[in-house]
Amino acid sequence: MFESAEIGHTIDKATYDSQVPALREALLSAQLDLLEQARFPVLILISGIEGAGKSETVKLLNEWMDPRHVQVSTFDEQTDEELAHPPAWRYWRQMPPKGKIGIYFGNWYDQMLQARVHKVIEDPRLDQAINGAVRLERMLSEEGTLVFKFWFHLSKKHMKERLKTLENDPLHSWRLSPLDWQQSKTYDQFVRYGERVLRRCSRDFAPWYVIDGSDEHYRSLSVGRILLQGLQAALKNKGPAKPSPHAAPLVSSLDNRTLLDALDMSQALTKEEYQEQLIAEQARLSRLMRDKRMRKFALVAVFEGNDAAGKGGSIQRIAAALDPRQYRIVPIASPTEEERAQPYLWRFWRHIPARGKFTIFDRSWYGRVLVERVENLCAQADWLRAYGEINDFEEELSNAGVVLVKFWLAIDQETQLQRFKEREETPFKHYKITEDDWRNRSKWDDYCDAVGDMVDRTSTAIAPWTLVEANDKRFARVKILRTINDTLEAALNR
Amino acid sequence: MFESAEIGHTIDKATYDSQVPALREALLSAQLDLLEQARFPVLILISGIEGAGKSETVKLLNEWMDPRHVQVSTFDEQTDEELAHPPAWRYWRQMPPKGKIGIYFGNWYDQMLQARVHKVIEDPRLDQAINGAVRLERMLSEEGTLVFKFWFHLSKKHMKERLKTLENDPLHSWRLSPLDWQQSKTYDQFVRYGERVLRRCSRDFAPWYVIDGSDEHYRSLSVGRILLQGLQAALKNKGPAKPSPHAAPLVSSLDNRTLLDALDMSQALTKEEYQEQLIAEQARLSRLMRDKRMRKFALVAVFEGNDAAGKGGSIQRIAAALDPRQYRIVPIASPTEEERAQPYLWRFWRHIPARGKFTIFDRSWYGRVLVERVENLCAQADWLRAYGEINDFEEELSNAGVVLVKFWLAIDQETQLQRFKEREETPFKHYKITEDDWRNRSKWDDYCDAVGDMVDRTSTAIAPWTLVEANDKRFARVKILRTINDTLEAALNR
């Protein structure tokens, strides 16, 4: 993996000086195209051996390009806000928007390598981290992000020489390496695990580039050229997304009987049963949220459902049980301009609760496989890959102690019609019914298929879907509260 | 101040029950109007005596209104990210956007009162905090935010009774007051300083409402009514901003000689002088930024200037001296959708650097008194009040250890014309020249007036303007770097 980066490539100063001006101009011009097209962001990951020219190269890229549209992020010590969120949160919050270039120093690779070298984790956990990285980058790449990964390399001998030089250079003392790089053992281990990481994470959509860091001119020209070629190719390629290998529409069940048909929609509660059970479950939720063990967890509830199925009312019954300081309700409408400039999941990541908190999503990331699928708002390839991306996302949350509860509130067509009419007739509820609702209704069967596929593909052990029979609002509200409580209680007792 | 809130107001349950439904419906309907108009945000500050019903009321408001568009924020312990920024940063990052309601628990008032009661600060500092609060709220209010401030009150006797009740109620144990509220002395001091705060911060644009918290029904109805009336009035009032008392255009100097005319534009450096001085100042900046004392400071540089005056080139020369992990360049273009939904300064607050970091603003908050003034993009009243708001803003930054350097890069008309032509003729620089540039040029005199007023009104001891004679790019770049270095050095040595 690193062999060719240790043979000591060099480029003499004259050649370098003669080539840089044209490269610079081309890079700057590509950057301007990128900015103007604003079709995708560029993410550059910088990793490798200490002293191999990582910060020098980043500095140079800033000089060669317009630094106003390059955003360098470092990820050293986690802040306490970062510690209170799932590990990926810190990377999501720094994502460059479309048209811009983000450079990540100390990215997920450094984190996993440091942890492995210092024996904070063992091989199985390293492999998990590697798989997580591949999934994340695949998703970013499918969302349009152009990912470059540079590994700056040095042979052990070169590294030792380099660290010595830096030490004696007062102007560059900020680049003094951490103590452990002075030790041979660290180098050996870093290279050993680095090899494994590079091998498994070098994919067509985000390959690793190993850069020989021993010669400044060679290193700088190499990185510049790779960036330029990648950028130019991506800027030229304006075609539609490539079709997914399984782009044939999903097959609905052969007997035409969906999951939703199997629900017993007649379930109901009397007013007395409702009052009693509602209060009991609300008190239970209030108690659970104030449980000391909750400090280690966060809670996320996702509400999806037919129009007029009673999402709003159910959410209000949950809110009524809680201290308003503990929860936040996030209504998902059309994405804002800043959200549209980011990968799909970004706008949900920004609302993921810190430990001890509860976020209720009124509609959610499932919009991609529901409304966006049915209304053709995204390409088929996009919603087809979304199932896997969503499962990855939810696993990340779950691994970080986020308890997930997902509800589909189902009503039948007659009940919906009745509620629509009621809303149109009650001046106070009139705002709740729009043209969209009637249009969605005309696509009832499409939605049924979408819901069936969604549940089949994203109801997982860590984040199962709960289908809620919501013809009777009382029954639905109690079932929802009880499900949240059961799930949360199980998590706290685990 | 609190007398009438201690006489023991009550409302019986029957009256309450009969009045709530109409109030609720009206509140919800006002909230929907707010959301639909999306013209202004609502900020509700909750303060007062422990046990007087603060959290109960917030909970109730969430029940009465649609909780999906109410955002409750708590400000207890500062996180380490918050500690690394100026104190107001944490409030700015939680600001509700237009159309939404934000409720601030533990806002700036609690912070100043706690600090004073526990003798962390003395009276002069309390007075400073009070003045800061008034200025902030005035600015928010002028930006359109509707501010409500509720002080929930209880007599000492009532408070003691209430804390006892809460203690014995297992369902409500989360509301158990911090220990110090159990002491009479805390109450006395809190009320004493509270009186002072309320007296001085109750203004027409954001009055305090003292709520008798002893009776739940009275309390709830009072808050609901006040909110409803305030909301309805604000929703109805769609008139233009009221003219500023000094709305007459600023008078330009009688002899028609502006600050800019007084500059010696012939200053220049030879290539050799430039090379030598540039490198010396870059090394100096690099050294200063890596100084250990820098950990207590942050650095902000603001670049404004004539079109083609060389802002970009100057910024690049600064960047070249720095580790890219230390600085960030923020180019200010048109505000995004999320930024437009916030008070004017919000989009700058979000980029204020943490301690140890350096942010370079390529154009800045001065846009309001420059381009927005000259192009009539905001009302005259808006830019007239901006001078004071900007001074307040910069003082806040400065108090928190942010070192501010502000540059106006000035060139004369001939030089600009020459550079415009050059840009049009060089394919590589072509992107730099647009219709806007030619239009701005035609308003040269207006910009001169605006710059003169800006410097007169916002060049302060804590954040002086540096006018840079930029006909000679070399001279300008060195002067800029040297000014940054001198300012930063002085701050570190202070």
Q: What percent of chain B has pLDDT over 90?
A: 57
Interface test with chain A among B323, B337, B342, B346, by most A beta carbons within 10 Å: B323
B361, closest residue in chain A (CA to CA):
A68
Q: In DSSP terms, which residues pair with A406 in a beta bridge?
A: A302, A465
Tokens standing for A69? 């549209």
CB-side neighbour CA atoms (13 Å) of A37: 18
In this prediction, residue A169 carries a pLDDT of: 63
Interface test with chain A among B83, B329, B363, by most A beta carbons within 10 Å: B329
Distance between CA atoms of B62 and A13, rounded to whole angstroms? Answer: 68
In this prediction, residue A365 carries a pLDDT of: 97
Q: In DSSP terms, which residues pair with B302 in a beta bridge?
A: B361, B406
DSSP state of A376: T
Contacts of B443 (CB under 8 A, 6+ apart): B374, B375
- Whether B55 and chain A come into contact, CB under 8 Å, resolves to yes
DSSP state of A241: P
Cβ pair B336:A337 closer than 8 A: yes
In this prediction, residue B175 carries a pLDDT of: 46
Distance between CA atoms of A21 and A27, rounded to whole angstroms? Answer: 10
- Whether B324 and chain A come into contact, CB under 8 Å, resolves to yes
- Whether A67 and chain B come into contact, CB under 8 Å, resolves to yes
Cβ pair B67:A105 closer than 8 A: no
Per-residue pLDDT tens digits for B88-147: 999 999 999 999 999 998 899 999 999 999 899 998 889 889 988 998 998 899 889 999
Distance between CA atoms of A131 and B472, rounded to whole angstroms? Answer: 55
Interface of B with A in 428-447 (CB under 8 A): 428, 431
In this prediction, residue A462 carries a pLDDT of: 86
Give the one of B72, B80, B328 whose C-beta lies nearest to A325's C-beta. Answer: B72
A31 to chain B: which residues are within 8 Å by CB? none
Mean pLDDT over each residue of chain B, to the nearest integer: 88
Per-residue pLDDT tens digits for B183-196: 778 888 988 899 88
Cβ pair B283:A171 closer than 8 A: yes
Interface of B with A in 446-485 (CB under 8 A): none
- Percentages (nearest 5) of helix, strand, coil residues in chain A: 55, 15, 30
Distance from CA of B460 to the nearest CA of A (A): 28
In this prediction, residue A409 carries a pLDDT of: 97
User: In CATH, what is the architecture of A259-493?
Assistant: 3-Layer(aba) Sandwich (3.40)
- Cα-flanking dihedrals φ and ψ of residue B328, to 5°? -145, 140
Alpha-carbon separation of residue A126 from A120, A196, A395, A467 (angstroms)? 10, 10, 16, 36
- Cα-flanking dihedrals φ and ψ of residue B97, to 5°? -80, 170
Interface of B with A in 216-255 (CB under 8 A): none
Cβ pair A283:B171 closer than 8 A: yes
Lowest mean pLDDT, pick from A191-200, B33-42, B309-318: A191-200
3 state SS of A327:
strand
Give the Cβ contact number of residue B240 at 10 Å: 7
Tokens standing for B469? 């004679």
Q: Are B102 and B42 in contact (CB under 8 A)?
A: yes
First-to-last alpha carbon distance for chain A, in angstroms, is 43
Q: If pLDDT is split at 50, 70 and 90, which confidence band does B39 have? A: very high
B311, closest residue in chain A (CA to CA):
A68
Tokens standing for B202? 């109750």
Contacts of B449 (CB under 8 A, 6+ apart): B250, B252, B258
Per-residue pLDDT tens digits for B269-286: 999 999 999 999 999 999
Three-state SS across chain B? CCHHHCCCCCCCHHHHHHHHHHHHHHHHHHHHHHHHHCCCCEEEEEEECCCCCHHHHHHHHHHHCCHHHEEEEECCCCCHHHHCCCCCHHHHCCCCCCCCEEEEECCHHHHHHHHHHCCCCCHHHHHHHHHHHHHHHHHHHHCCCEEEEEEEECCHHHHHHHHHHHHCCHHHHHHCCCHHHHCHHHHHHHHHHHHHHHHHHCECCECEEEEECCCHHHHHHHHHHHHHHHHHHHHHCCCCCCCCCCCCCCCCCCCCCCHHHHCCCCCCCCHHHHHHHHHHHHHHHHHHHCCHHHHHCEEEEEEEECCCCCHHHHHHHHHCCCCCCCEEEEECCCCCHHHHCCCCCHHHHCCCCCCCCEEEEECCHHHHHCHHHHCCCCCHHHHHHHHHHHHHHHHHHHHCCEEEEEEEEECCHHHHHHHHHHHHHCHHHHHHCCHHHHHHHHCHHHHHHHHHHHHHHHCCCCCCEEEEECCCHHHHHHHHHHHHHHHHHHHHHC
Three-state SS across A79-106? CHHHHCCCCCHHHHCCCCCCCCEEEEEC
A32 to chain B: which residues are within 8 Å by CB? 431
CB-side neighbour CA atoms (13 Å) of A15: 8
Interface of B with A in 284-323 (CB under 8 A): 286-287, 290, 312, 315-316, 319-320, 322-323
Cβ pair B67:A316 closer than 8 A: yes
Three-state SS across A429-458? HHHHCCHHHHHHHHCHHHHHHHHHHHHHHH
Specify burial of residue B157 (Cβ count, 10 A radius: 0-12, 13-18, 19+). exposed
Type of residue numbered A6? E
Q: If pLDDT is split at 50, 70 and 90, which confidence band does B248 have? A: very low
Question: What's the rounded mean pLDDT across residues B428-452?
Answer: 82
Interface test with chain A among B66, B68, B77, B358, by most A beta carbons within 10 Å: B68
Distance between CA atoms of B343 and B378, rounded to whole angstroms? Answer: 13
Distance from CA of A262 to the nearest CA of B (A): 32
Give the one of B55, B312, B324 whose C-beta lies nearest to A58's C-beta. Answer: B324
Interface of B with A in 150-169 (CB under 8 A): none
pLDDT of residue B426 exceeding 90: no
Tokens standing for B118? 């526990």
Give the one of B62, B79, B329 whose C-beta lies nearest to A319's C-beta. Answer: B62
Interface test with chain B among A55, A326, A329, A330, by most B beta carbons within 10 Å: A329
Cβ pair B63:A324 closer than 8 A: no
CA A220 from centre of chain: 31
Interface of B with A in 358-377 (CB under 8 A): 362
Per-residue pLDDT tens digits for B45-73: 999 998 889 989 999 999 999 999 999 99
B55 to chain A: which residues are within 8 Å by CB? 323-325
Distance between CA atoms of A38 and A97, rounded to whole angstroms? Answer: 8
Type of residue numbered B140? L
In this prediction, residue A264 carries a pLDDT of: 92
B59 to chain A: which residues are within 8 Å by CB? 320, 322-324
- Cα-flanking dihedrals φ and ψ of residue B131, to 5°? -65, -40
User: Per-residue confidence of chain A (494 residues) as pLDDT tens digits?
Assistant: 677 677 778 889 999 999 999 999 999 999 999 999 999 999 999 999 988 899 899 999 999 999 999 999 988 888 889 999 998 999 999 999 999 999 998 899 999 999 999 899 998 889 888 988 998 998 899 889 999 999 999 988 888 888 777 776 655 544 445 556 667 788 889 888 998 888 888 887 888 888 989 899 999 999 999 999 999 999 998 766 555 555 445 555 556 667 788 899 999 999 999 999 999 999 999 999 999 999 999 999 999 999 999 999 999 999 999 988 899 999 998 888 889 999 999 999 999 999 999 999 999 999 999 999 999 988 888 888 888 889 889 989 999 999 999 999 999 999 999 999 888 887 666 667 778 888 888 899 899 889 988 988 888 888 999 999 999 999 999 999 999 999 999 999 98
Domain with CATH 3.40.50.300 in chain A: 3-236, 259-493
Distance from CA of A74 to the nearest CA of B (A): 6
Distance between CA atoms of B160 and B64, rounded to whole angstroms? Answer: 29
Cβ pair A55:B103 closer than 8 A: no
Distance between CA atoms of A314 and A319, rounded to whole angstroms? Answer: 9
A318, closest residue in chain B (CA to CA):
B63
B325 to chain A: which residues are within 8 Å by CB? 55, 58, 72, 74, 105
pLDDT of residue B172 exceeding 70: no
In this prediction, residue A175 carries a pLDDT of: 46
The domain B3-236 having CATH identifier 3.40.50.300: the answer here is yes
B427 to chain A: which residues are within 8 Å by CB? none
In this prediction, residue B312 carries a pLDDT of: 92
Q: Which residue has the tokens 């701050």?
A: B491
Tokens standing for B159? 């408070």
